Structures are given as C-alpha cells and as structure tokens.
Structure 1
C-alpha cells in the first residue's frame, strides 16, 4: 500500500513539474520576438494608414451597434531602430453624437505565439503584437497625455493579411475591438464615403430600434 501511494505521489509530482515547465516555456515564447522572415513580411505590408472595421465597447456593450462595425482609420509606423517594434495609432475616432474626436497610439512589439494561441490561430504566418501604456489626445497631438494602464494585443497573419486586435484604454472599461478580418489597403481611398454611410446606417438602426 505504501509503495503504491509513493508511486502515486511521484507521478503527481512529475505531472506538476511537467505542467510548470510547459507554462514557463509558453511564457518565454510569448515574449520572444517573431521570426525575422515574418516580421519582414509584416513590415512590407502592414504600414501606413489602413482602414479596419471595429466595435467600440463600454462595459462589454457594443456602442457601434452595427454588426459590421465602424470603419476606423489606423496608422502603422515601424521603428527605425528596432525591427520588432511598431507604433499603432487610432486616428480621429468619433462615432455618432460623441461630441469629440479621440486619437490614441501605442508602441507594440512583435512576438511568437504560445502553444495555446497556435491552437486558436492555426496555420503558418501568424505573429502576435503587444504593447502597454499608450498616449491619447484630442484634436492636437501636441497636447497628448499618458494613457497609463492601456494596452494593445493583437494577431496578424503575414500571408493571408488577416488581423484582429483589441485596444483597451483603461478608462471607463472602454475598448476598441478590431474583430478578425482581412486587411484591404484600398479602403483608405474611400474612407470618408464609407464612414458617412456608416453614420447613416447607424441612425437608421437607432430609429428602427427606438434608440433616438
């Protein structure tokens, strides 16, 4: 009986040790830069002003209302001193009757996916990007202020150009959620028209649902 119990305890200890080692390994991978090849592909495409569809949420409630999201202009600017870092900026964001224009930017670093993330984002070409403590401003970037506690976390496939990421502003539980979609760099050419149509569709949605 004692021998069986001893074997059982040893087995449990072994499994715990393996589990801890796996978690430690995944944590290390999470912080390791993405491969040079993938980063080069990302730098060549994910750059400049790009329009993506987003949901603006507050306390988990979608304030953009429409399932298709709001066309939102982002800027991707890669560092000239570190190949693994770029700045992602949310430019001149406003929806409906917000009454103000908000911009936000944050430096993010490219990383490898850990094993759990690889299960969710299957196939080759995926990189992760993450950054903390961005800055925000209104109509004048010269008056920007620190957005302590804010963060950006996202995933991008350098081959299919699929992307999704979340910007957490650490303010009133407000987030911008860029759901999984394929980057279309041509959308920037029709951004004004697309945003105007979104505003019309948003007003109609509010009327149809008695939200005005």
Structure 2
C-alpha cells in the first residue's frame, strides 16, 4: 500500500487509462476509433475510462491526439504503477499539471476496479470496445456530437439568407440587363450574390439532411 495520500492502494503491474469527459462509453470508443486506437471503455460517474490496448503505458503522441480531439475539455491520464496511481491533466493537446489522484477524484465503481487491476475491463458494467466500430461512421458521429443537433433557428437563418441572396442576385441581373450597371465590378455583383445563394442552398440542404438523420436515429448525445 502506498503512503502517498494522492494514490490509492492498487494491484501490481502497470496500466494506463484516459479519463474522458464524454457522456457515454460508446462515445469514447468512437473517439478512439477515429484516431485508430484499439481500446476498451468503462463508464464512471466522472466520465469514461478509456483503456488503449497493448499493455504498459500510453505515449504522449496518443494523449495529444485524444486531447486535441476533445478541444478545451480536460483529459486525465491515470497510470497505475509502483503501487499507486499517478495523474496527468491534459488540455487541447498540452500537459497542464500533475495533480494527486485524490484531488481530481479519479474514477469510481467498476471503472476504478478496472484501473486498480481488480476487474477485467470486459466484465465491467456498461463496458464496450472499439471492436467492430467503423472508423468512418464513428467520425461522422463524432462530428455530429460536436456540432450538436440542428436547431430551428439554423434552418430559419439559412433559409432567409438563401432568399435574400437570390433576390439580390436577381436584382443585380435586372440592373445589368437594363444597362444600369457601370464597370466590371457592378457586372460581377450578380454573380457574387448568385454564388452566395448557391452556398446557402447547399448549407440548408445539409442541415435538412442532418435533421432527417437525427429524427431517424435520435439526436447525437
């Protein structure tokens, strides 16, 4: 047993897990799959413990990629070694500090038992893994989760901007046809508004497709 108040007593060996601030183990394995990591994920009340496979430690390059993928959220690297758990706090791809395990709270429930070597990850309640997860589908789901569900105001705004751009393009074209346009810049204005109208049309179509997918399969967590 360790005398360090920051680290609980643990089993032997070495194990490194990443505590991710995500809502579910399924979301954690999607993040891992997108990054090309084979891993197991165990939920806890403070996030999800992600355990990259292969044994031993996790190199900084992996932690950097995971941390960057979660933007400004804190990722805790929990390493069980020498009869205690050490902690690194990462944010946006950078190591921030190394607090004591007891200070950050660590993990609880089955996730803590897995971290301490008392329970295999596969036997933990709510555990899942990257096995069978399609990285391309996972990438789409991760992007959707970051974006959040489509809001009505987004549809309204895109529709209004589409109509406005189209009307201005038509007005510019009429001016050009009536000979009221002066110079190359005036002649190019209708084309610019038309290009914006196309952009907002594509944006609105994308939003409508996303909303249809959300209604078919549920909004992203």
Q: TM-score range, shorter-chain basis? A: 0.3 to 0.5
Looking at CA atoms only, which structure, 1 or 2, has the larger radius of gyration? Answer: 2
Structure whose residues are more often helix by fraction: 2
Q: TM-score, normalised by structure 2?
A: 0.32
Structure whose residues are more often strand by fraction: 1
